[in-house]
A and B are shown apart, each in its own frame.
Chain A
């Protein structure tokens, strides 16, 4: 199990959630991905997807205009 950073700051296309999905495909169950985003919509988009898939939202924090979302892969 490992932690990996996904830097999706300042991206509109493909966008933070698409970046997260791409990296999640390669992650192992139990891995935690930390997504960095400057898009405020990420705060709603990511938990919605995480909840639907059944992964785990570990944390969601904002610092200096950057959202840090930690997600654990569960399946």
Chain B
């Protein structure tokens, strides 16, 4: 049984490690083989980018060698896939090598697409890459007062990030003693300040307490970088001194180029996590078109289901679990408190009051992630 995993992010790595343990005997006796193909020899802890943007982490803390995170029985190549031959059950990599498979797991993730919004690349800062997060931190350090506008593209990774950004900005400028000179204006695409109703209900009085101005039903249409004005599809505009964007995201180019899914999102069954119409191709994490959060947490829970089902199909001829839509998100409510949201397809999130211990737990999780991605947590 040749299992091929394309992508070495959170989802792909957890599938690989979880499977390697479940199939250790089959791998030893050469009845199963797990191969991972990735675009990079590095693994980034993406939630760390928000800390990087506030000088709370350094870039080296975000990375580990991908090979060091994988079980030794996993064959690992840094050689991204360029061609998917789904009907013929093989892929072709950038180096021209062909990999045949019996089961394929696609875990290629997503990428920011600021170019979808005219002027966003030139006029807005962000923190979704290492380079942009460092650039933003330098600007925040030099910022002495004025209006900081926050805009949110759709769809975007980590839906809680816009709210966390606001809390972090408030605390950052408070600590610098210039909060009274900084006007923070938050814009959000729908008619409340967060898509999760409980989060919006809780965050609204918090925003009021912190003196955050907010405009809802604001879908960013264009950034006029010359005049420092951001305009909405709804016909309103905001002048800014510093614009921070949560950019729209899309799937990876090669997914769309191979006609696997519009915008790089692969049509996926919400319970089995199989690619629509296939029983030999699983999709995990951001790569799916599922109406669930694009977060490492969703990828983690999906990966466990996929690994368990691939192993059980090999061992007993049938999958044993369905993905129930589970997502668990920490919510940093400043630099010293946090809460969390947990939900699935049937149960809405129920927030608890923010606390220091939850923030400490998040700090601990920033290190525990490396254990989690090894499939041990």
Residues of A within 8 A of B (CB): 7-8, 10-19, 21-22, 25-26, 41, 45, 48-49, 52-53
Contact = CB atoms under 8 A, between A and B. Distances in A.
Size range of the chain B interface in the assembly: 20 to 34
Contacts, number: 66
Given A22-B154, A25-B154, A49-B217, A13 B190 contact: no
Given A8-B291, A21-B154, A53-B233, A13 B189 contact: no
A8 B327 CA distance: 16
22 contacts: A10-B325, A11-B292, A11-B345, A12-B348, A13-B195, A13-B341, A14-B155, A14-B159, A14-B293, A18-B154, A19-B291, A21-B154, A21-B190, A21-B219, A22-B155, A25-B116, A26-B262, A26-B263, A41-B197, A45-B190, A45-B191, A48-B217
Contacts of A7: 291
Given A8-B291, A14-B154, A25-B154, 9 more contacts: A11-B291, A11-B325, A17-B191, A18-B159, A21-B154, A22-B154, A26-B262, A49-B217, A52-B217
Contacts of B348: 12
Most chain-A CB neighbours within 10 Å: which of B159, B233, B263, B341? B233
A49 B293 CA distance: 21
A52 B293 contact: no
A53 B325 CA distance: 31
B343 A13 contact: yes
A53 B189 contact: no
Interface string B115-144: 010000000000000000000000000000
Interface in B42-87: none
A13 B116 CA distance: 22
Max chain B Cβ within 10 angstroms of own Cβ: one of A10, A14, A45? A14
B195 A14 contact: yes
